[in-house]
Amino acid sequence: MQLMAVEELREGMVLAQDVVSDAFVNIVTESTIVTQDIINKLEKLDIEFVYVHSEMVTPEETTFSDSEPVFGSLADTEALNYNFNKTVNKIKSIFNDLKFGVADIKAEMDGAMEPLLDGILDNNNILSSLRVMKYDDDYTLKHSVNVGLLSAMIGKWLGLSPTQVNELSMAGTMHDIGKSKIPRYILNKPGELSAQEFGIAQQHAVYGYEILKESQGFPESICEGVLYHHERFNGSGYPQGVKGKNIPLYARIIAIADVFDALTHDKVYQGKISPFVAAEIIKSMSFDELDPEITNLFLKKIAEFYVGNKVLLSTGEEGEVIYLNKFSLTKPLVQVGSKFIDLSMKTEIKIKEVL
């Protein structure tokens, strides 16, 4: 590791430490591969010196590390959407089969997630993937696959083994399979559920567990992830009111993925909100409902992704996320034209939408 002047940086160098401003705001994360855009950004922000590793990365060797957010569109959106729709349609087929009996879920889903997982996990591009994948049918079906992909990504960020990450993707994708046993008028009700209807809807977690056990071939870790994904860290969840780390790891991960995807996508009874507002809600839930350690890691990773993205502010202005405040990841610094707006200071201004 060596200290180097920004003016001497070259593309392919690898940052050895986070680049932090005088105000302790994270500008670029450790292990990021230097590009001309990054050099330009550092110069624009008057950063004079950074720490880099002695080794350089050639274009042929370039891969994206866990610490490096991926920006821009996917190389093959059509292929991604093809694989996504193929997987969602498998879930649809399983839901339909379950209305008439027991489906062979293990055989139906065997290898179904791999084409999606390979590209998304390798490039750390889960959020850009979720933005471009389209499916114009049942929300529950699309949500199921989204949660499977998000759960797998969180598992990767936590350093879980490839086997565990694959199991997480399956548990996340199957987390709402029990809804196949819930009346559609309850699932699609645009207004608030009655106490009786909510009690019926809550049974989907138990139904999902029973369906996977009857289908056979699924390890208990996947079945438990489905059963406990609505449990909460403070014991306020269902179906058993389990608390803290007595909730299985997969279920704690799926809970975060489930909430985030539900908040950021349109539903029958509620419109979507911006990922930054969703992050604020999830952050508030980390104090009592969601696993705080996993939640903090999740928020850090998704916040890193949005650096460099165009956003629409609640003021109606469009700007670009420039860098993150380590102490308030969901309130970044945004550049609008020639001015900079620190959302951690201007708390009345919100990011309404990521463009």
Q: For 257-312, write each residue's pLDDT tens digit.
A: 999 999 988 776 677 888 888 988 999 999 999 999 999 999 988 888 788 888 99
DSSP-assigned beta bridge partners for residue 341: 334
Q: Could you tell me the fold of the domain covering 2-61?
A: Molybdopterin biosynthesis moea protein, domain 2 (3.90.105)
Model confidence pLDDT, tens digit, residues 17-75: 878 766 555 667 677 778 887 888 788 778 888 888 876 655 444 333 333 333 333 34
SS3 347: coil
Q: What is the pLDDT of residue 123?
A: 59
Strands 25-28 and 318-325, sheet pairing: antiparallel
Residue pair 213/227 in contact (Cβ under 8 Å)? The answer is no
Range with the largest mean pLDDT of 130-139, 243-252, 267-276, 333-342: 243-252
Return the domain boundaries, the chain.
Answer: 2-61, 77-272
Q: Catalogue the E-assigned strands of 16-132.
A: 19-20, 25-28, 49-56
239 preceded by a cis bond (ω within 30 of 0): yes
Model confidence pLDDT, tens digit, residues 65-86: 333 333 333 345 677 777 788 8
SS3 176: coil
Q: Which residue has the tokens 């690898």?
A: 14
Q: What is the average per-residue pLDDT within 202-211?
A: 96
The superfamily (CATH) of domain 77-272 is Hypothetical protein af1432 (1.10.3210.10)
Taking the CA atoms of residue 319, residue 320, residue 322 and residue 323 in that order, the dihedral angle to the nearest 10 degrees is 90
Whether the per-residue pLDDT at 171 is higher than 90: the answer is: yes
What Rg do the C-alpha atoms of the chain give, in angstroms? Answer: 21
Separation between Cα atoms, residue 67 and residue 64, nearest integer Å: 8
Residue 328 dihedral angles phi and psi, to the nearest 5°: -155, 75
Residue 249 dihedral angles phi and psi, to the nearest 5°: -55, -45
Q: What is the pLDDT of residue 274?
A: 84
